[in-house]
Amino acid sequence: MYIIVIGGGRVGYYLTKALLSEGHEVVIIEKDAGVCKIINDELGGVCIRGDGCEAATLAEQGTSRADILIAVTGDDEDNLVACQVAKYRFNVARTIARIRNPQNESVFRKLGIDITVDSTSVILEHIKGELPTYPLTHLKDLGEVGLEIVEVRIMPDSKAIGKKVKDLPLPPGSRLSLIIHQSQKPHIPSADTTIRDGDRIIAITTPEQEEALRTVLSGT
Amino acid sequence: MKVVIMGCGRVGARLAGLLDGDGHSVTILDTDTYSFRRLPPTFKGNALVGNGLDQEVLKRSGIEDADAFVATTQGDNRNIMASQIAKNIFNVPKVVSRIYDPLRQELYSTMGLDAISPTTIFAQILRERVES
């Protein structure tokens, strides 16, 4: 595939390295001449100096034949514009934008960007998953089908402990998919599975029912 | 009319003064309080510190019931993004933005944004002066 990466910072650099090693044709567009030189010295002549939001620069790189454009600069607005120019001027089928302000996810979706990767939320979720005070962590957001995969840890004060799955008042659209407990192999729960202290439950739910699911499985 | 202006540079501040003088209710946003020194001493509107790309800041500026939104920061992409938020998220009836880059201005105009490129306009004016 032909992939254009906008922004030669750390994310752009490692992304390009990974894409190249998978055999893709990759071009990075980066404004800073010094950064371009470093990348070209290390990865070969893959980096072009220029403004990835400018139609002229994108035209020179043959953007109309690109399969994907990925914008990973540090500024949300630059990533938005690079993706929109690629999409609406060059008809690039798939545009991916990195965002830093979590609020912008819905904005970008509404403005036609195919996929957003919210680096701030990814880091926050990883940290929250390690904090004992956060029983529910987002593992994956399946935005296009309106579902999400979450992990819920059963705390000692949970009112679900000792109950069978079939007796839990699970909210609509929510399903417990996997139970992980130290003492045994991870297993798919049945209606008669009993919830125990220390269980880690991988569940599918909707963003609307997430809070209700958390309530059913936690103490409060 | 209720107007929100993003960017209190020379153009933003001057526009704010003009609209305020015409009796409109004006709120002007900038990330730097120092920029508000450019507002005329007679300015009766609101000056609000904050980033106009942040929806919370925009809500505080009263964008939800604004009649018009104008983006006049130094950054084309910031103006483009804020204008699209005003138009598509907050449904502001009249949205105008400054885009210096003529190619970008053309593209976003065809996409339905009311965008003005001072570069194109000023070059034309200069040409007329030179050739007259």
Instruction: Point out the least confidently predicted range of A127-141, A152-166, A204-218.
Output: A127-141
**Pairing state between β A147-153 and A136-142:** antiparallel
Element (H, E) at A83: helix A76-90
Q: Would you state the pLDDT for residue A185?
A: 86
Q: Would you state the pLDDT for residue A126?
A: 82
d(CA A103, CA B59): 13
For tokens 């998978």, the residue is A22
d(CA A28, CA A172): 45
Element (H, E) at A2: strand A2-6
> Which residues of B, range 105-124, sit inside 8 Å of A by Cβ?
107, 111
Instruction: Point out the least confidently predicted range of A58-67, A106-115, B35-44, B121-130.
Output: A106-115
Asked if the interface predicted TM-score (ipTM) of this complex is over 0.85, the answer is: yes
Q: Would you state the pLDDT for residue B107?
A: 93
User: In sequence order, what E strands does A36-114 have?
Assistant: 47-49, 68-71, 94-99
Residues of chain A with CATH 3.40.50.720: 2-122
Residues of chain A with CATH 3.30.70.1450: 132-217
For residue A83 the two structure tokens come to 């993706």
Residues 6+ apart with CB under 8 A from A143: A109
Find the closest chain A residue to B78 by CA distance. Answer: A77
Summarize pLDDT for B63-107 with one digit per residue, the tens.
999 999 999 999 999 999 999 999 999 999 999 999 999 999 999
Q: Would you state the pLDDT for residue A71?
A: 97
Residue B117: C-alpha distances to residues B4, B27, B36, B102 (Å):
20, 23, 24, 6
Mean pLDDT of chain A: 91
Residues 6+ apart with CB under 8 A from B57: B29, B48, B50, B51
**Averaged pLDDT, A211-218:** 89
Q: Would you state the pLDDT for residue A156?
A: 87
Contact (CB<8Å) B101/A101 = no
Q: What is the CATH number of domain B2-131?
A: 3.40.50.720
Summarize pLDDT for A128-143 with one digit per residue, the tens.
777 767 788 888 888 7
Sheet with B94-98: list strands edge to edge: B46-49, B25-30, B2-6, B68-71, B94-98, B114-116
- Domain A2-122 belongs to what architecture? 3-Layer(aba) Sandwich (3.40)
Q: Would you state the pLDDT for residue A220?
A: 59
Q: How far is B20 from chain A (nearest CA, A)?
A: 29
Contact (CB<8Å) B76/A81 = yes
Measure CB to CB from residue A56 to each of B80, B81, B103 and give the nearest one: B103
Instruction: Point out the least confidently predicted range of A2-6, A183-187, B18-22, B74-78.
Output: A183-187
Where does the pLDDT of residue A145 fall: very low under 50, low under 70, confident under 90, or very high at 90 and above?
confident
Beta-carbon pairs below 8 A across chains A and B: 51
- Full-model pTM: 0.81
Summarize pLDDT for A74-93 with one digit per residue, the tens.
999 999 999 999 999 999 99
For residue B25 the two structure tokens come to 């209710």
Q: What is the DSSP string of chain B?
A: -EEEEE--SHHHHHHHHHHHHTT-EEEEEES-GGGGGGS-TT--SEEEES-TTSHHHHHHTTGGG-SEEEE--S-HHHHHHHHHIIIIIS--SEEEEE--SHHHHHHHHHTT-EEE-HHHHHHHHHHHHHH-
A142 touching chain B per CB within 8 A: no
- Domain A132-217 belongs to what architecture? 2-Layer Sandwich (3.30)
One-letter amino acid of B9: G
Residue pair A78/B76 in contact by the 8 Å Cβ criterion? no
Phi, psi of B130 (to 5 degrees): -65, -40
Give B54's contacts in chain A (Cβ within 8 Å): 101, 103
d(CA B65, CA B77): 24
d(CA B109, CA B115): 6
Instruction: Please state the domain extents for chain B.
Output: 2-131
Task: Tell me how long chain A is.
Answer: 220
B84 touching chain A per CB within 8 A: yes
Residue pair A135/A216 in contact by the 8 Å Cβ criterion? no
